[in-house]
């Protein structure tokens, strides 16, 4: 059974701009591991896409999105008949609002050799909206109820996702402390010069840069140096919405300066840090130790600075 801090379900956001990606149902193979690697997987990644890994459920492999912004594992409604009786129906928080999601006992499923059968319930809902938005055959979301046990490394240069025994950061890394939301999602302090430091959910299921709650977003709009950006059309579990966007001159994350950052307005109170920023770094999340390590990757070395 879940305790009170584990009963909030936070779900992924997908930008409609990702519709240009080609359709694929191909499941990536596991990679050969070094001694520090428990499991490692290749992943395809383009601008505004998701980090997808193969999950063995039943006798088949399915693509699941790795989503640190989701508190639980989520299965597509196509699997509902295989999940047994529903245990409860809870509200899920999405950027567009709240929706009801059925919860079930976690079934037996595997990511490589790692069991996804958590003590927490899993959610089940229709993910057809996500498949349409990404043109990818995604049938589940791996959230923090599983990920919290591991050291997770995302290497955007080599397109590898690793589950490690120890962080083993590369030379020149920048480290910061993670805290966690009531739903168990990682939080990181980020400074925007116009409004100061704020806590952001580090959300690998959010494929834009930053999403800022309405009060602070309104404050940004009052600043004369802020550039207005084009509004974004986004889609998630609760439907389609439009969010205003601005461009801030810089932000600071783990003592690294990041220039020209697009910021969307959040329709709820959750600030999010997404893949458009995270993909500029090789990211290691030591969830058990509550730490994050960032290395500027080769693709972004000329644009990010200490």
Q: Specify the pLDDT at position 304.
A: 43
4-164 and 174-300 share one fold: yes
pLDDT over 90 (residue 48)? no
Contact 158, 147 (CB under 8 A): no
For residue 63, give every residue at least 6 positions away whose Cβ sits within 8 Å of its Cβ, in sequence order, or none. 25, 27, 52, 53, 54, 55, 136, 137, 138, 139, 140
Q: What is the mean pLDDT of residues 126-135?
A: 83
For residue 300, give every residue at least 6 positions away whose Cβ sits within 8 Å of its Cβ, in sequence order, or none. 279, 280, 281
Highest mean pLDDT among 25-39, 87-101, 158-172, 263-277: 158-172
Which single residue is written with the structure tokens 């976690």? 106
Domain boundaries, the chain: 4-164, 174-300
Rounded Cα distance, 146 and 120, in Å: 9
User: 276-297 pLDDT, tens per residue?
Assistant: 899 999 999 999 999 999 998 8
Which of these CATH numbers, 2.30.42.10, 1.10.540.10, 2.40.70.10, 2.60.120.380, describes 174-300?
Answer: 2.40.70.10
**Average pLDDT of the residues of the chain:** 82
Structure tokens, 125 = 């809902």
Lowest mean pLDDT among 9-18, 92-101, 230-239, 264-273: 9-18
Q: Specify the pLDDT at position 134.
A: 76
pLDDT over 60 (residue 190)? yes
Question: Cα dihedral sign for 174, 180, 181, 185?
Answer: positive
Highest mean pLDDT among 8-17, 89-98, 102-111: 102-111
User: 216-246 pLDDT, tens per residue?
Assistant: 988 888 886 667 666 665 656 555 566 778 8
Rounded Cα distance, 26 and 173, in Å: 33
Confidence of residue 31 (pLDDT cuts 50, 70, 90): low
Q: What size, in residues, is the chain?
A: 306
pLDDT over 80 (residue 8)? no
pLDDT over 60 (residue 25)? no
Rounded Cα distance, 276 and 273, in Å: 8
Q: Specify the pLDDT at position 249.
A: 87
Q: What is the mean pLDDT of residues 57-69?
A: 94
Q: Specify the pLDDT at position 132.
A: 81
Question: Which CATH number applies to 4-164?
Answer: 2.40.70.10
Rounded Cα distance, 31 and 47, in Å: 23
């Amino acid at each position: 059974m879940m305790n009170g801090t584990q009963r909030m379900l936070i779900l992924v956001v997908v930008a409609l701009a990702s519709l240009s990606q080609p359709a694929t149902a191909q499941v990536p193979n596991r990679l050969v591991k070094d001694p520090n690697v428990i499991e490692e997987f290749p992943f395809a990644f383009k601008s505004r896409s998701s980090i997808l890994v193969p999950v063995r459920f039943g006798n088949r492999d399915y693509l699941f999105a790795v989503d640190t912004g989701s508190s639980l594992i989520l299965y597509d409604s196509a699997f509902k008949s295989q999940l047994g009786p529903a245990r409860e129906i809870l509200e899920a928080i999405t950027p567009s609002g709240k929706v009801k999601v059925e919860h079930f006992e976690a079934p037996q499923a595997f990511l490589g050799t790692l069991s996804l059968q958590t003590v927490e319930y899993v959610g089940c809902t229709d993910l057809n909206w996500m498949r349409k938005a990404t043109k990818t055959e995604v049938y589940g979301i791996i959230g923090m109820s599983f990920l919290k046990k591991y050291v997770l490394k995302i290497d955007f240069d080599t397109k590898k996702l690793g589950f490690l025994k120890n962080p083993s950061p590369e030379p020149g890394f920048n480290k910061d402390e993670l805290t966690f939301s009531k739903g168990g999602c990682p939080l990181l302090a980020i400074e925007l010069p116009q409004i100061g430091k704020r806590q952001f959910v580090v959300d690998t299921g959010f494929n834009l840069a930053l999403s800022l709650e309405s009060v602070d977003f309104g404050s940004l709009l009052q600043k004369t140096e802020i550039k207005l950006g084009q509004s974004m059309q986004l889609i998630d579990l609760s439907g389609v919405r439009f969010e205003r966007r601005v461009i801030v001159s810089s932000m600071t994350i783990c003592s690294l300066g990041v220039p020209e950052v697009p910021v969307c307005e959040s329709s709820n109170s959750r600030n999010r840090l997404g893949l458009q920023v995270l993909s500029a770094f090789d990211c290691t999340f030591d969830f058990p130790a509550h730490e994050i390590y960032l290395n500027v990757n080769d693709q972004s070395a000329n644009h990010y600075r200490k």
